[in-house]
């Protein structure tokens, strides 16, 4: 668990940071400047951010929330603890921004207790995410086998990841080239172009040599039409919708 602590640069704040590290053994990155907060979240995934609202301008916290929001499925969202002297949310936050808000200054003991509660919440979410992924993977494997996707190719691996991503972020289906392929590329340390080529190749092979009757049934294509109009985006979106529906039914 990686935690970012962003406080006013005062002796009290430094004492709190030191105590959280020395007494409670937490792994912290501590900053005392607004600009440093944005530098840190550009480079590192933090599970918890503790921030003093006096460091920020109007809209900053919303920017931070949007910046740390992950597009990866089954990864817990960053939780934010916002400390405020006034507890006036309207200055820095939208109406529904997901933060824990407490009056400042907060003691090291109080922050440690809150971090512990958030850790428990995130651990529960991780376990639930792992269970959901395992359930979805079983359905994906069966569906891929029925369609005729080869199980051990790079293209099939990327299609599987695309299905998971679209289940988590359905809006990515509207921006496959700009969002979906780059997200898969980031997971695998390759270029988005390589992901697109391997995915297209695997889909073409499947449409040419897979289970034609099953494919027609899945995509609602009559016997008098070929598959030339099935794009990669439509292919993975359709499979994602099927997996989502079957996963929901399985959990009822």
* pTM given for the model: 0.70
- Domain architecture of the chain: domains with CATH: 3-124 (3.40.50.2300), 148-251 (1.10.10.10)
What pLDDT is attached to residue 91?
A: 44
Q: Is the pLDDT of residue 1 over 90?
A: no
- Angle (CA) 126 127 129, round 5°: 65
Q: CA quadruple 236, 237, 238, 239: dihedral positive or negative?
A: positive
What average pLDDT does this structure show over 146-163? 93
Q: What's the mean per-residue pLDDT of the chain? A: 85
**Predicted local distance difference test score (pLDDT) of residue 158:** 96
Phi, psi angles (nearest 5°) of residue 173:
-65, -20
Q: Is 74 left (phi over 0), alpha (psi -120 to 50) or beta?
A: left
Q: Quick one: pLDDT band at residue 125, thresholds 50, 70, 90?
A: confident
DSSP string, 80-146: EEEEESS--GGGT--TT--EEEEESS--HHHHHHHHHHHHHHHHHHHHHHHHHHHHHHHHHHHHHHH
Q: Determine the Cα–Cα distance for residues 210 and 111; give it in Å rounded to an integer.
A: 56
Summarize the confidence of residues 98-124 as an average pLDDT.
86
Split at pLDDT 50, 70, 90, the class of 98 is low
Residues 237, 6: Cα–Cα separation, whole Å: 40
What is the arithmetic mean of pLDDT over 30-49? 87
230 and 207 Cβ atoms separated by less than 8 Å: yes
The tokens for 212 are 């034609």
Weakest-pLDDT range from 45-54, 78-87, 152-161: 78-87
């Amino acid at each position: 668990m990686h935690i970012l602590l962003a406080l006013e640069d005062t002796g009290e704040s430094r004492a709190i940071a030191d105590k959280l590290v020395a007494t409670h053994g937490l792994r912290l990155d501590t900053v005392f400047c607004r600009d440093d907060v944005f530098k840190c979240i550009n480079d590192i995934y933090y599970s918890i951010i503790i921030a003093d609202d006096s460091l920020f301008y109007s809209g900053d916290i919303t920017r931070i929330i949007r910046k740390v929001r992950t597009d990866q499925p089954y990864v817990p969202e960053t939780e934010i603890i916002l400390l405020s002297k006034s507890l006036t949310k309207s200055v820095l936050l939208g109406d529904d921004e997901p933060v824990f808000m407490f009056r400042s200054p907060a003691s090291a003991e109080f922050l440690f207790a809150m971090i512990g509660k958030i850790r428990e919440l995130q651990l529960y979410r991780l376990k639930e995410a792992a269970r959901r992924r395992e359930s979805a993977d079983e359905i994906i494997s069966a569906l891929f086998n029925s369609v005729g996707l080869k199980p051990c190719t790079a293209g099939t691996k990327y299609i599987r990841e695309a299905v998971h991503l679209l289940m988590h972020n359905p809006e990515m289906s509207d921006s496959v080239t700009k969002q979906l392929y780059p997200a898969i590329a980031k997971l695998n340390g390759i270029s988005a172009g390589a992901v697109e080529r391997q995915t297209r190749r695997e889909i073409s092979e499947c449409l040419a040599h897979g289970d034609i009757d099953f494919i027609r049934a899945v995509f609602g294509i009559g016997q008098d039409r070929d598959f030339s109009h099935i794009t990669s985006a439509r292919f993975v979106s359709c499979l994602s919708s099927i997996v989502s529906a079957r996963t929901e039914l399985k959990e009822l």
